[in-house]
Amino acid sequence: KPTGPPATKPVPVYRVQLDGDDVLVSLSKES
Protein backbone atom coordinates (compact mmCIF):
# COMPACT_ATOMS: atom_id res chain seq x y z
CA LYS A 1 0.00 0.00 0.00
CA PRO A 2 1.21 3.52 -0.70
CA THR A 3 2.35 5.46 2.36
CA GLY A 4 2.57 8.91 0.75
CA PRO A 5 2.58 10.95 -2.46
CA PRO A 6 3.12 10.54 -5.38
CA ALA A 7 1.91 6.92 -5.10
CA THR A 8 -1.88 6.63 -5.31
CA LYS A 9 -2.53 2.87 -5.58
CA PRO A 10 -0.81 -0.37 -4.51
CA VAL A 11 1.72 -2.01 -6.85
CA PRO A 12 2.94 -5.62 -6.92
CA VAL A 13 5.89 -6.49 -4.64
CA TYR A 14 8.29 -9.31 -5.48
CA ARG A 15 10.84 -11.16 -3.32
CA VAL A 16 14.44 -10.50 -4.47
CA GLN A 17 17.52 -12.50 -3.51
CA LEU A 18 21.16 -11.70 -4.32
CA ASP A 19 23.36 -14.67 -5.27
CA GLY A 20 26.87 -13.39 -5.97
CA ASP A 21 26.53 -11.20 -9.08
CA ASP A 22 23.05 -12.60 -9.85
CA VAL A 23 19.73 -11.09 -8.80
CA LEU A 24 17.00 -13.72 -8.38
CA VAL A 25 13.38 -12.55 -8.48
CA SER A 26 10.43 -14.65 -7.32
CA LEU A 27 7.50 -14.00 -9.67
CA SER A 28 4.96 -14.90 -6.97
CA LYS A 29 3.32 -11.79 -5.48
CA GLU A 30 4.01 -11.02 -1.81
CA SER A 31 0.95 -10.48 0.34
* Number of domains composing the chain: 1
**pLDDT value for 20:** 96
**pLDDT value for 29:** 59
pLDDT in tens, 1-31: 778 788 888 888 889 999 999 999 998 755 4
SS3 (DSSP) at 20: coil
Q: Measure Cα distances from 7 to 3, 15, 18, 24, 29 in Å.
A: 8, 20, 27, 26, 19
Is residue 20 one of the residues assigned to a domain?
yes
Is residue 31 one of the residues assigned to a domain?
no
**pLDDT value for 16:** 93
Q: Look at residues 31, 2, 30 and name the one whose alpha carbon lies nearest to residue 16.
A: 30
Q: Quote the domain boundaries for residue 4.
A: 1-26
Is residue 12 one of the residues assigned to a domain?
yes
- Provide the CA 6 distance to its chain's centre, in angstroms: 17
pTM, rounded to two decimals: 0.47
**pLDDT value for 24:** 95
